[in-house]
Structure 1
Amino acid sequence: MSSPLTHASFTIERKLSVPPSRVFHAFSDYETKKKWFGGPAEWVQGESSLDFRVGGRETGVGGPEGGFVSTMHAVYHDIVQDERIVYTYEMLLNGERSSVSLCTLELDADGQGTILTLTEQGVYFTEEDQVAGRKEGTEGLMDALVTYLEGH
């Protein structure tokens, strides 16, 4: 019997001292995104790609040395320059689909800076991939983004 489905959502907010255009660029430019988007320091990065346009796709593969393999496949549905990005993505753990999510990134000017609001709505298929762990991992990615942008 398969695991029961879990539906959940969460919102993460970060304040950055850089303008929305810099935050948007960090998501939309492949070379820039590779510098901050990749998981914890101990992860080995595998295949990655970014076709940042409505209908475009993104892939990211990685995981701890000798451990599980995490794969993300995304499709971009709505992009408004320097304001928002809406995409869906599926996560696979060792090749098995573990979740599918709808994610919205909103970038609001705040003086010279930006308030970034990320809202994720997901369905989780396995015991191993649940909302608490996803939120923790996404918070880590947003912290990596803040560290990257505040340091450059």
Structure 2
Amino acid sequence: MRNTELEKLDGLLGEWTTTVSDAWFLEPPGAEVPGKTDVALLGESFLVVTSEFGEGEDRSELSLVIGRSDANDAYVVLYQDDRGVCRQFAMTFGDGRWTMTREDPDFHQRFIADVEKDRIVGRWEASDDQGKTWRKDFDLTYERA
């Protein structure tokens, strides 16, 4: 039986072209990194998001698994990438806004995005002082393929 709260995420399903831009770590300033993202169902209660960015030696991959904690009435996201990084995020989704946040001892991190039918415009931010101040890491744009 399909989780009814996950049905609210059905608009994310499918293939997307993605672009990383305005990133402090990209050279030269203004550089953009194209990519692709696929969002698919895993069973009746999870979404799997797989993304690839760049090419050759600069190629990177990451995956998200989005699920629910029904008892806590909350979305939960598990993240992993090809650097061996594994993280857990709390997530909200609704009213045209998608957020993912984590408040871990190493640093705090958040994703904030405006969601339209065929476009998602977001940014990743980080805080090294437990959320008192934030710096933008990069913009992330999804366009339905």
Assess same fold via TM > 0.5.
Answer: no
Q: Which structure is richer in relative contact order (CA contacts within 8 A, separation 6 or more)?
A: 1
After TM superposition, the score normalised by the length of structure 1 is: 0.40
After TM superposition, the score normalised by the length of structure 2 is: 0.42
Bigger helix fraction: 1
Bigger strand fraction: 2
